[in-house]
């Protein structure tokens, strides 16, 4: 792994999927999921997993900002840094308009907070939550939310709150619930692939 990311660049890549891991994980955490998602998409998809910039306080993994206790004051700078990194990925071959962003848990919160202000193809928030006082912009990419109804880490109500904020714009938004906890179940992979294919094409 480089210091900041993992990357799969297949020959002829035309789209890009960026992955944002959760609190205490690292860039490699979502790569198997990302590779499975990209298998169903043609032309090929460049896969990028970004590594959060802060070390986890317990020494293993990374964090986008402190969570226990919650360091909400650090969120604006974390969002600004992430947006700069996303913009830096852009190339003439794969602009932001052909880039989708998927985040899990804290990575999902960061995906929504940073991606809604960028001209991305779409955003996927898995077990995500809104930052305090977050308001969805009136112009933003399409959003797919997935959340387990028995999630005991990030309550399902967090995605309901996100949905309420996002729907004020009238733009494409969906919340898919499932029986389960803090995870991305395999049975929802086709639903995520469906969203990516519709946004990319």
pLDDT tier at 1, thresholds 50, 70, 90: very low
Residue-level pLDDT at 171? 81
Overall average pLDDT of the 72-86 stretch: 97
Q: Which residue has the tokens 């660049």?
A: 9
pLDDT tier at 70, thresholds 50, 70, 90: very high
pLDDT tier at 86, thresholds 50, 70, 90: very high
Tell me how many degrees the CA angle 12-15-18 measures, rounded to the nearest 5: 125
pLDDT above 70 for 91: yes
Q: Which domains does the chain have, with CATH numbers?
A: 5-199 (3.40.50.1820)
pLDDT above 70 for 2: no
Residue-level pLDDT at 201? 87
Tell me how many degrees the CA angle 85-104-89 measures, rounded to the nearest 5: 20
Tell me how many degrees the CA angle 43-119-92 measures, rounded to the nearest 5: 50
Per-residue pLDDT tens digits for 121-174: 999 999 999 999 999 998 999 999 999 999 999 999 999 999 999 988 778 899
Average pLDDT for the chain: 95
Residue-level pLDDT at 60? 84
Overall average pLDDT of the 12-29 stretch: 97
197 versus 60: the higher-pLDDT residue is 197
pLDDT tier at 180, thresholds 50, 70, 90: very high
Cβ neighbour number for residue 145 with a 10 Å cutoff = 23
pLDDT above 90 for 59: no
Overall average pLDDT of the 72-99 stretch: 97
What b/e string do you get for 112-126 counting C-beta neighbours within 10 Å, with b at 16 or more? Answer: bbbbbebebbbbbbb
Q: How much of the chain is in helix, strand and coil states, percent to nearest 5?
A: 35, 25, 40
Residue among 87, 89, 21, 101 at smallest CA distance from 54: 21
Residue-level pLDDT at 33? 97
Backbone angles phi, psi at 103, to 5 degrees: -130, 150
């Amino acid at each position: 792994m480089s210091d900041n990311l993992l990357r799969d660049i297949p020959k002829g890549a035309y789209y890009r999927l960026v992955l944002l891991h959760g609190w205490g994980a690292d860039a490699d955490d979502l790569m198997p999921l990302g590779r499975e998602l990209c298998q169903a998409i043609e032309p090929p998809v460049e896969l990028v997993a970004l590594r959060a910039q802060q070390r986890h306080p317990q020494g293993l993994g990374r964090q986008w900002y402190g969570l226990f206790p919650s360091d909400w004051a650090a969120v604006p700078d974390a969002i600004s840094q992430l947006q700069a990194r996303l913009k830096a990925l852009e190339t003439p071959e794969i602009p932001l308009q052909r880039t989708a962003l998927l985040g899990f848990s804290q990575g999902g919160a960061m995906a929504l907070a940073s991606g809604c202000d960028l001209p991305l193809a779409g955003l996927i928030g898995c077990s995500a939550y809104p930052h305090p006082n977050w308001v969805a912009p009136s112009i933003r990419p399409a959003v797919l939310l997935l959340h387990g109804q028995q999630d005991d880490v990030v309550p399902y109500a967090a995605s309901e709150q996100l949905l309420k904020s996002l729907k004020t714009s009238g733009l494409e938004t969906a919340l898919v619930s499932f029986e389960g906890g803090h995870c991305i179940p395999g049975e929802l992979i086709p639903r995520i692939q469906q969203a990516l294919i519709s946004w990319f094409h």
